[in-house]
Amino acid sequence: MSLTERFNEMDQAARLKVGYFIAALLVLAIGYSAINDRIIKLEKKRGSRQADLAEMMLLKQRHREASSGAQKLANRLSAVTPDDSVAKLIDEIGIKGKSSQIKPLKGEDRPGFMEDAAEVRIEGLSANDLVNLLFRLEKGVKPVVIKKANFKARYDDPSKLDISLSVALLKPAPQEKK
């Protein structure tokens, strides 16, 4: 006996109940399919939002680093007075070799600040004095950019170095009155 024959042999009330049962199963299957599709869409949305959040956290960290660097530069620029120069900075550091020369160079004008550039030549520095000089120039209170550095060992004393630095002191640009 086939399934259709059994269904046709049932009385009408039983066929109605079986029909309702089959309809309910179909409604449940369609509902389950719709819910499953919605869950898949929500999982995709959650995954993309997690990726966006991870990117935003990275951007937030980079923004903090950039604003921190900008704040440090602003603080260092505010410490510069109009009479400051590269020669004065080198003298304040106090590291001297056998002889030193400081020649002014033309500095660049950048938006928001200008450069007071100079070429510094110092002869007969030890490697430790050189490291201390570079550290104090870079990490000092005033904003200094070392554009070019050239080190040569001396022939008469290989433990001493002759250095040539192109150094620029950053100064705030003069404000124009409107």
- pTM of the predicted structure, to 2 decimals: 0.60
According to CATH, the topology of domain 86-172 is Alpha-Beta Plaits (3.30.70)
Q: Give one DSSP letter per residue of 111-151, joined into a string.
A: TTEEEEEEEEEEEEEEHHHHHHHHHHHHHSSS-EEEEEEEE
Predicted pLDDT at 175? 66
In the chain, domain spans: 3-75, 86-172
For 4-27, the pLDDT digits (tens) are 888 778 888 888 888 899 999 999
Q: What is the pLDDT of residues 136-174, one digit of tens each?
A: 888 888 888 888 999 998 888 888 888 998 988 888 777
Residues 140, 95 contacting (CB under 8 angstroms) = no
**Contact by Cβ (8 Å): 149, 164:** yes
Pair of tokens at residue 170: 């950053």
Select the more confidently predicted residue: 55 or 93.
55
Contact 170, 140 (CB under 8 A): no
Task: Report how far residue 122's alpha carbon sits from residue 167's, in angstroms, rounded to the nearest whole number.
Answer: 13
Among residues 145, 154, 160, which one has the least CA distance to residue 105? Answer: 145
Which distant-in-sequence residues (6+ apart) come within 8 Å of 153 by Cβ?
160, 161, 162
